[in-house]
Amino acid sequence: MLNVDLDRFDIKLLEIIQNDARLPQKDLGESVNLSTAAVNRRLKKLSEQGVIESYNTKIKPEALGFNITVITTIKVINEQFNELESLRKLFSSCRQVQQSYYVAGEWDFVLIILVRNMDEYTELTENLFIKNKNIKKFQTLVAMRKDKVSLSVPIEI
C-alpha cells in the first residue's frame, strides 16, 4: 500500500491527466492555479512515488481486429506459492491477457482476454489452460457488449 500525502492540487492534477495525459503542463497549471514549474515538480514527484504508474494511449481493440472480449475464471490444483507465481507469470506474459487477477472465492484467477476470433481463443486455452497440469478447470464468459471499459480511478475532489 502506498503511503502518500496528496493535497488538493495533486488530486486535481491526477483527475485531469487521468482523462487526458496529453495536456501541456502550462494548461494543467492554469487549470489548478499553479505555475508550469510547480506542475512539473508535482507530476515528477507523483511518478517517483508510484502514484502515477504510466502514461498510456487507449486504442480501440476492434481497430486492430480484436473483436472478442473473453472473461475466463480459473481453478487451480496446487496453491503453493511457487505454483501460483508460475501461473501469474504465464498469464502476465501472454499478450492477449489484458488483465489478470488472483482472487479469493470459488475461483483462483480471473482473466480479461482480447482475441480476434474464437479459433484464437481455442488455441490460447490449449496453451494456457488445457496443457497446464496445475489448472483444474476453467470457465469462459464471452462479452456480448462492452458497456463500460475503464481503468480510471474514481477521484473525488
Give the pLDDT confidence of 71-97 residue by residue, as tens digits: 999 999 999 999 999 999 999 999 999
What nine digits make up the cell of 19?
Answer: 482523462
Residue in the structure block whose three cell numbers are 480484436 = 66
Question: What architecture is domain 61-142?
Answer: 2-Layer Sandwich (3.30)
pLDDT tens per residue, range 10-60: 999 999 999 999 999 999 999 999 999 999 999 999 999 999 999 988 899
Q: Which residues touch 29 (CB under 8 Å, ≥6 apart)?
A: 35, 36, 38, 39
Domain with CATH 3.30.70.920 in the chain: 61-142
Domain with CATH 1.10.10.10 in the chain: 8-48
Fold of 8-48: Arc Repressor Mutant, subunit A (1.10.10)
Higher pLDDT, 3 or 143: 143
Output the pLDDT for position 1: 66
| d(C-alpha 80, C-alpha 65), whole Å | 38
Output the pLDDT for position 4: 87
pLDDT tens per residue, range 92-151: 999 999 999 999 999 999 999 999 999 999 999 999 999 999 999 999 999 999 999 988
Q: What's CA 49's distance to the chain center, in Å?
A: 19
**111 close to 49: Cβ distance less than 8 angstroms:** no
Q: Which residues touch 110 (CB under 8 Å, ≥6 apart)?
A: 71, 72, 73, 74, 99, 100, 101, 103
